[in-house]
Amino acid sequence: MNTYLFPPSSDEKVLNDFTLHIKAGQKVGLVGKSGAGKSTIVKLLLRSYDTGQGKIEIDSQDISSLKFNSLRNAIAFVPQDTSLFHRTLYENILYARPSAKKDEVLVASTRAHAHDFIEQYPNGYDTLVGERGVKLSGGQRQRIALARAILKNAPILVLDEATSALDSESEEIIQQGLQELFHDRTVVAIAHRLSTLRAMDRIIVLEGGRIVEDGNPQDLLEKKDGLFKHMWEHQKKGFI
């Protein structure tokens, strides 16, 4: 997969002189302070809005020329806060691929570490989750999101701070599910947590809409006075 991201046209550009090439199967983490452009990259990739200038390509195809269904079938998205439908747990997982068989749903749920908590409900997979999944904890909703992504089995995985709002115990469970998702996929992840960043092949550090550092985590940590090293040290001390 060759992916190129360029800034939209506006009076105040969010991304400036921005070019990013991601190889197939590579796990890339996007880091930077608030407003650096991380969420903009994800929204452009998902075509939440289109670029005004430049283009985004997947396998040499400009995504603006693709039908939305084709693009969305190629990408599995796990947001920070997962919205569920007021349906059963089974239906919420099946939403990712309505043609899937029951055993495929159960396998995806198990790999996402959701099966055990679902089975604890009296109605199991037939349990209604309430509006926006109100009956579930944040960690449980994220496990359902992971089950959806696993069931979808898309070649590209996009994560938007999927563990940032979770407690340590829930995060550990989600991280185990993420390892299932990362296998044989191209990953683009907005991430702050050290546990997620460790799994990345490459870190892109953004500042003011520009790439200021690009490399594998270990190399960036050895960079004297590097921005990523500075962020890492602050997080270790509990400031981030």
Instruction: Please give the average pLDDT of every successive group of 10 residues along the chain, which has 240 residues.
Output: 44 76 92 85 86 84 88 88 90 95 94 92 95 86 90 91 65 72 86 76 90 92 87 68
Determine which helix (DSSP H) or strand (DSSP E) holds 188, and give its type and residue range: strand 186-190
Overall pTM > 0.85:
no
Q: Structure tokens of 93?
A: 């997982």
Burial class (CB in 10 A: 0-12, 13-18, 19+), 66: middle
What pLDDT is stored for residue 4 in this prediction?
45
What is the DSSP secondary structure assignment for residue 124, as one 8-state letter?
Answer: G
What is the DSSP secondary structure assignment for residue 9, as one 8-state letter?
Answer: P
Distance CA 54, CA 75 (A): 21
What is the DSSP secondary structure assignment for residue 32, as one 8-state letter?
Answer: E
162, 172, 196, 207: CA torsion to nearest 10: 60
What is the DSSP secondary structure assignment for residue 12, as one 8-state letter?
Answer: S
What pLDDT is stored for residue 240 in this prediction?
45
Do residues 29 and 73 touch, judged by C-beta distance below 8 A? no
Work out whether the CA dihedral 67, 155, 82, 201 comes out positive or negative.
negative
What pLDDT is stored for residue 203 in this prediction?
94
Q: Structure tokens of 240?
A: 């981030």
| Paired strand residues for 31 | 205
Work out whether the CA dihedral 119, 176, 83, 154 comes out positive or negative.
negative
Helix residue ranges, H only, the chain: 38-45, 68-74, 89-94, 102-111, 115-119, 138-152, 168-182, 194-197, 217-221, 227-236
Enumerate residues 6+ apart whose C-beta is below 8 A from 59: 1, 2
What pLDDT is stored for residue 198 in this prediction?
77
